[in-house]
Chain A
Amino acid sequence: MSELSHHEEVDTEPTLHATHIVSPKVYGVIFGVLLLGTGLTVGASYLELGIFNPIVAIAIACIKAVLVILFFMHVKYSSRLTKLTVAAGFFTFIVLITMTLTDYMSRAWGLW
């Protein structure tokens, strides 16, 4: 019995926020911002921004993705374990992209 309550004590900490219910109002606002972001990214693609065209497109996509992750996927209200897991995933993805591109760029230096 005492062992069980010990477990409960330990397990309460990471799951403290697990039952947070996100209100439909928040979903609605995020939904609107996502549609706005889609409009912006299409509009920006018609502007002559030179090297910044892809940068703006990726930046808007990243903002939209972060909004989906934080609110639709409840990560903002999740435990630290979940936050760390998600962050680890994207960190590994960045490693994949950076290391691959570093290799390609440095092997044929100046030819890419």
Chain B
Amino acid sequence: MDSQAIATQPVHGHDEHAAHPPYLRHHFATVEQQRETASFGMWLFLLTEIMFFGGMFAAYLIYRNWYYPAFVAGSHQLSIFLGTFNTAVLICSSFTMAMGVHAAEMKWRKPLVGWLLATIVLGCVFLGVKADEYHEKWEKHHVPGLNFSVQDFTHPSAQYKEEPPLPMDMAQKTQVYFSLYFAMTGMHALHMVIGISILLVLVVRAWGGAYTHGHMTTIENFGLYWHFVDIVWIFLFPLLYLISRHQ
């Protein structure tokens, strides 16, 4: 083994180590090790995401215990139908993403593009419904800091006549609920927007065969991200939409 072997490795080096696929980087021993390393890195990133959302969940828990009546009144302003619909949409998108990963593993190019496109469409439906909900909050003056009125909580309208009116100090605390609502669903929606942007790039590259001729680690790791965003919503939905609905 002379020093020439290193410089000319792409041409002559293959007697030193077994022939390897072009996508195997030289600092990895095997394709499996490379895949495992990428997956490990992705999970480490997701752990930081867990802690990021975890901080907001911790804040939510504490304020919910302190201002429970305000949280109940705030929660009852959300539409259960839209929340359930969006949860179903997001679970469907997780399913299409999982099927996309499967298509990439089987090296099926067109099914992969199809499943990724379906995931994009479902993600956009989710964001559309979310935007409609935000718009409704704006019209009802339920946006803390920008457009907020306690009117609905101190003098509930006929639509919510079964709701007990809150005293002024507790009614003000619905702002805490709506702040957390916008912070948590907003950060979740931002993750969806980022996810859809990445998906658009992935679809174009998948159409060119990037993940069906080479390795599909990118698709696999993006799938992990997408499912993580789904999991965040699985917790946000009952915590924000379903407080004391039996009242």
Chain A residues in contact with chain B, CB under 8 A? 1, 4, 7-8, 11-12, 14-15, 18-19, 21-24, 27-28, 30-31, 34-35, 38, 41-42, 45-49, 53-54, 57-58, 60-61, 64-65, 68-69, 71-74, 78-79, 81-82, 85-86, 88-90, 92-93, 96-97, 100-101, 104, 112
Contacts and interface: CB of A to CB of B under 8 A. Distances in A.
| Residue with the greatest number of chain B CB neighbours at <10 A, chosen from A14, A73, A85 | A73
Given A8-B29, A68-B234, A81-B40, A45 B245 contact: yes
Contact of A85 (B40, B84, B88, B246): B40
Interface of B: 16-17, 29-30, 32-33, 35-36, 39-40, 43-44, 46-47, 50-51, 54-55, 57-58, 61-62, 65-66, 80, 84, 87-88, 91-92, 94-95, 97-99, 102, 105-106, 220, 223-224, 227-228, 230-231, 234-235, 237-239, 242-246
A62 B88 CA distance: 16
A46 B36 contact: no
Contact of B43 (A24, A54, A60, A89): A89
B43 A85 contact: yes
Contacts of B35: 15, 18
Contacts of B97: 72
Chain B interface mostly: helix
Nearest to B66: A112
Contacts of A112: 65-66
A15 B54 contact: no
11 contacts: A4-B29, A15-B35, A22-B102, A34-B95, A82-B43, A89-B46, A89-B50, A90-B50, A100-B58, A101-B61, A112-B65
Chain A interface mostly: helix
Contacts of B55: 96
A62 B168 CA distance: 36
B95 A31 contact: yes
A48 to B, nearest CB: 5
B57 A97 contact: yes
A21 B106 contact: yes
A15 B88 contact: no
B36 A81 contact: yes
Given A68-B231, A97-B58, A100-B62, 5 more contacts: A19-B32, A81-B40, A89-B43, A90-B50, A96-B51
